[in-house]
Structure formats: structure tokens, C-alpha cells
Structure 1
């Protein structure tokens, strides 16, 4: 199960490995909030069609929507995964955030030891945003030892990240601690980066919302803004005449007119 809108590598990877994507919709009118009713409906429909739903991924903060899930949302997801016997995959690349593992442990039993959780993080996102460096990890909680063994086998046949990527990952998971010489500088730089990202998020969303026919929810915790463009009837008719989806048609025309490359939401 994958949220819609989603990071497109999920749908691409699922197709590549012969899986089936089961979408669940985020609620744009509620700031791209999680809709548990739609989540349950999507699961029931998939099972009614004979699909064996094995996992559910959520992206927090959202990519490309930029919203942050509340503690209540995370608790709902954890209960859902526990009750439905589904592996929970937490895409938490855009830190800082409230981690699913922390919430799960605070909920106590039966969730603390009864939910299979995979938590993902990478050096290319978060406050540092070292997008040119490649390195990441998955933390596995309550995963069966036999499954862990198979995961390690698959990982062992891949090439490792380059040296600088590994160094960056080491710094990510071992930041300066209170009392270290560099701790205050680290905190000052990190807080300055967060403040700068917040200012830029406000600037971008304000600019989108000032445009005619464009609306955009505020970006709470990621490096993305996800605007909605309302196309006039004539533009939709022109797209249909050209045999293209309206949003794809808009992106192509924007590229031709301005040289700006965009990706359609659908």
C-alpha cells in the first residue's frame, strides 16, 4: 500500500519486482492528512480482488506533499498494521520528525513487540540535505531472524556506497554530542538551516497562492511544495484534442514557453 501522491520510485519498483500497488489517498483539503477510512477501504477492496497485501509505506514528512504526520496519525497507522498483520515501512528521510518507532514504543504492548517496522533514512535528505552524497540505512524492528538473513544476503550482493558517502553516513548517525568541542557550532548551523528552510517554504507557498488558478498547502517539513493548478476549460479541451492528460499537456506547454521542466501530479 502506497500513499497518493507518492514518490514515483515506489510505483516503479513495485512494478519492476512484479508486485501490485494498492493506493490510498491523502486528503489535500486537510493539508494532505492521512484518511484512515480511505486506507481501510483500499485494503478491503484489494483483498476482495484476491490480493495478498503484505506491506504499507508512509512518507513522513510527505514527498512530494511536504506535510508532517501527527502523533495521532502515526498511532492510527501502527494500530492498523498490527490489526491487519501488515509490515509497516516508514520512509522518514526528511528529518527532523516524530519517528514511528518512538511512537510505537511509547504505545507499549502489544504494539511495541507486535508490529514489524522498517524505518528508512538517508544522508541526502534532512536538514543537511547533502543531495550529492549517497548513503542510507534501514532499521528493522521486530523482523523475523529468517527474513533478516535474506535481507542481508540481498544487500551483500550490491556494491557499497563510495567512501565519501560512507563518511557522510557516519557523521549523520554520530552527530556531535553535548560537551563536544563542535557541538555548539553544529547546533547553531543546524538551527540556522531549519530557520532558512522554513522561510523559503513560506516564500514558495505564498508565491504559489498569489498566482491565479494555483493553490498550495504549506510545506511543513520537507524540501518540496506540491501546488494544484486549476486549468481552464479551453486548456483541458486542447489537451484532449492533443490526446494528452491535461496536467501533462500543461507541463509540456510550460516547458516550451519558459524552458522550465516540471512533472505532472498524476
Structure 2
């Protein structure tokens, strides 16, 4: 298995950093590591939940240090845990009260009832994704449809499980839209090759591509999965990261409900505290909702979750705080909303700035980041680059990314690690570092590319 997001280029970056070189890490969606400040209120609540009551919520001076709505929420969460706090195992699916918070969030978002017994609190979205893929894939003839480009947790996990990757191409010329005819063609080719296609992955908003699919496009995917009996893995971790005016996130569950297909298709949807505005990657908080699954299959997924006992309790708490913020009449509400607005506004400016800046470089073509945290530019390589890469025993994308790293200190991920059409080259970069850092990075992208073209012309 390969996982390019922390692969060869990043290993080299870490070596250079240890030798004293300044590195701009734009390889991974890890907001706090590159300067994003944590939101105050969730950290206040989490600290109180972690503290023994006598040193926290029940301390006589607690209201001198914490806002009252943080104290009341911490008490509520400790009560949900039965007084055991974050140091004890929870139910294998997670604390019931927190699962109810998630269910209320999903019901409000989708306008569809949500059962907390169908929610699993997970160590980030990745643990839930792994559980579902492990349930779907039992041998080398089982396949899963994944978008190309894709986030490499899918290709890596399939390789680990011995399953088959069935790619369906996203249309770069049409804003990375998902194309039903491309899906049908890929599915038929896989069937003709003897692959038993079991599941379909949709990443919306897109990673690494940054597109936000229309409600109609999401609906087409749901219909496709219902038609062919495919489990739909709905990777929706960037649902709060939508920057483009006129675009809005639509969940697969809502699309299914609106078309009368709820219960006709198995949907496993995923969300995470690592993305959105929270950016709490290190907490490993997230959830998975299973909709339309057979009870026996559900039981097998429960068994997998149980084998790991439970997800981390601090991550469970952070998940609750992500889906249920401070009350609108609480003393923390205005500051919480202000902090979120500042982070979102800066992300939106950086998304536009980086896409515009890369498009201004001769040889670069970059679709706008409508959502998520990344851009995925196409880079026209000079004629001599492919031969030079072959001589080094690597692909041209990796050679380019290593050259960029060594000359500028910018760490990106080669596009080859995500999959792309034959003959295309490029890389994925986040726009998470501070605005002034990204402005300088765009200038360095240009300078490096001019030098690279001259060297390999």
C-alpha cells in the first residue's frame, strides 16, 4: 500500500527540517500545525470535562475562569459519561448522549429523522471508512469504485485488504464534476474483467479537487448506487468548507430522502472534527452514520468497532461540541461565532488567492477551490522532465515536488499519489498556512517553475 500524503516527499521534508531548513507544510489538511488558532469555547469545555469535578466544574471559583455556558455544557457531558469522565471506555459506538447530539445535528441538516443507534463515534472519519471497506471487501475479486483523483486512504486501504480499485474519472474540464456516463463505463469494464463491485465512494466537497457538487449531481450518484446495489460511502468531512457563492453542501442522505430512495440504498456517511472550522485533527474525533443497512451487516460492523473497544473520549467530546455549539443566549455565543467567521473568511480569501495566483503562472491550470482545503493544479512539464525522472527511478510529479521542496521549502503532494488521467502532471497543495505565507508561496511556485522549465527544456 502507498499513502502519498505522508510519503516520499514528506519524509524528505522532515529530514530537511531536522537539518534546519524552513519548511512550509502544505501537504496535509492539518490546520493547527500551520498556525490556525483553536476555537476557544470547545477547548474550555473539553478542559473542564477532562478535569476532576473538584478541580473543574465544582470548584468554587470556576466561574471566575470559565464562562457559565462552558461550565454547564461540561457538566452535561460528564453526566452523559456517567461520571466516569474521559478516562474510561465508553460504549463501542460511543457515548449515547453524544450520539444523540450527532443525530439531532443530522436531522436538522437533512430534514430527515436520525436514529442515534445508527451512529458510530469514530477516531476521525478514517476509522469508520476502514470499517466499511473491511466489511465490503473479502477477497481479490471484490472492488470499490473510487473517484480519480481520489484521497489515497481509499486506494491504500483497498490494497491492504487485497481488493480491487475501480476508478471513475472526474471531469477536470467541467469543474471536476462526477459524470454518470463515466461511472457506468467504469462499472461495466470492471464487471467484464470479473470484478464484483461492492461499493462506491463519493468525496463531497472534493479532496484533492475542491469541487462542491450540486444537489442534482449528488442525486445522480445516489440513483446510480441504488440501481446497481452499491454501498455508498459518503465522505462529507468538508461539508462546512464551502466558499463559492451559489454553492451549497447537500448530503447523500438528504438527496436520497428527496428522491424517495431512503432505505433503497445503503449509505455510510462520515464527518470529522479534523476539518471544517474546528481543525482539531489531533483529537481524532468523528462519526459515521449507517442508513439502510441490513441488520446482520450492521452487526458485523458493530463487531469491528467493538474489537477496538471505543473511539477516544476527547474526540467524542469534540464531536459533540462540533455539532452542538454554545446556546444562542449564552455568554460565549458571540465570541464563538466571531472566531469561526474569522477562520472561514480567511480560508475563503486564501482559496481564491492561491487558485488565482497559480493560474497566473504560465504552464499552470487550476480549477477554483469551491470547497475543502486544497487546489489540484495541472502543470505542463518541460520536454526533458520525463526522461530525467525515469533516470532517477521516479515519476515526473514526484521529481517536480522534490525539486520544489529542495529549492523553496514548500512541501506538496505529487498528483500521481491521487490518481489522474494519463499524461497529466501536477500536485496537490493546501491553502492552510497564513495568508502572508501563502502569498509568498505563490511567488515561489512561479519562480521555481520558471527555473524547472529552463533546466529541463
* TM-score, structure 1 as length reference: 0.93
Q: Does the 8 A contact of 1:95 with 1:127 survive in 2? A: no
Rounded to whole Å, the distance in 2 between the matches of 1:21 and 1:130 is 30
Question: 1:121-200 maps to which residues of 2 (within 5 A)?
Answer: 121-200=271-350
Matched, 1:105 2:257: yes
Q: Where does structure 2 lack aligned partners over 5 or more consecutive residues?
A: 1-144, 241-248, 417-457
Q: Match for residue 181 of structure 2?
A: 37
How many residue pairs match? The answer is: 264
Q: Name whichever of 202-211 and 115-124 sits farther off.
A: 202-211
Q: Name whichever of 174-183 and 92-101 sits farther off.
A: 174-183
How far 1:216 sits from its partner (Å)?
1.1
Q: Match for residue 80 of structure 2?
A: none
Rounded to whole Å, the distance in 2 between the matches of 1:178 and 1:71 is 29
Rounded to whole Å, the distance in 1 between the matches of 2:210 and 2:185 is 24
Give the aligned CA root-mean-square deviation in angstroms: 1.7
Rounded to whole Å, the distance in 2 between the matches of 1:178 and 1:142 is 34
Q: Where does structure 1 lack aligned partners over 5 or more consecutive residues?
A: none
Q: Does the 8 A contact of 1:61 with 1:92 survive in 2? A: yes
How far 1:98 sits from its partner (Å)?
1.6
Matched, 1:209 2:209: no
Q: Does the 8 A contact of 2:177 with 2:211 survive in 1? A: yes
- Of 257, 261, 265, 2:411 maps to 261
Rounded to whole Å, the distance in 2 between the matches of 1:73 and 1:240 is 39
Indicate the structure whose relative CO is greater, using CA pairs within 8 Å and at least 6 residues apart: 2
1:197–1:261 CA distance, 2 compared to 1 (3 A): closer
Task: For residues 240-262 of structure 1, give each alpha carbon's deviation from its aligned partner in whole angstroms, at most 9, with x where no partner exists.
Answer: 33332211221222233233332
Query: Is the partner of 1:113 in helix, strand or coil?
Result: coil
Q: Name whichever of 177-186 and 199-208 sits farther off.
A: 177-186
Task: For residues 137-175 of structure 1, give each alpha carbon's deviation from its aligned partner in whole angstroms, at most 9, with x where no partner exists.
Answer: 110001111111111110011153433222211212322
Q: Does the 8 A contact of 1:5 with 1:26 survive in 2? A: yes
Task: For residues 48-78 of structure 1, give each alpha carbon's deviation from its aligned partner in whole angstroms, at most 9, with x where no partner exists.
Answer: 1111100000101111111111111111001
Rounded to whole Å, the distance in 2 between the matches of 1:258 and 1:148 is 49
Query: Is the partner of 1:136 in helix, strand or coil?
Result: strand
How far 1:181 sits from its partner (Å)?
4.6
Query: Is the partner of 1:233 in helix, strand or coil?
Result: coil
Rounded to whole Å, the distance in 1 between the matches of 2:197 and 2:268 is 16
- Of 381, 398, 402, 1:231 maps to 381
Rounded to whole Å, the distance in 1 between the matches of 2:328 and 2:189 is 51
Q: Match for residue 401 of structure 2?
A: 251
Q: Name whichever of 252-261 and 22-31 sits farther off.
A: 252-261
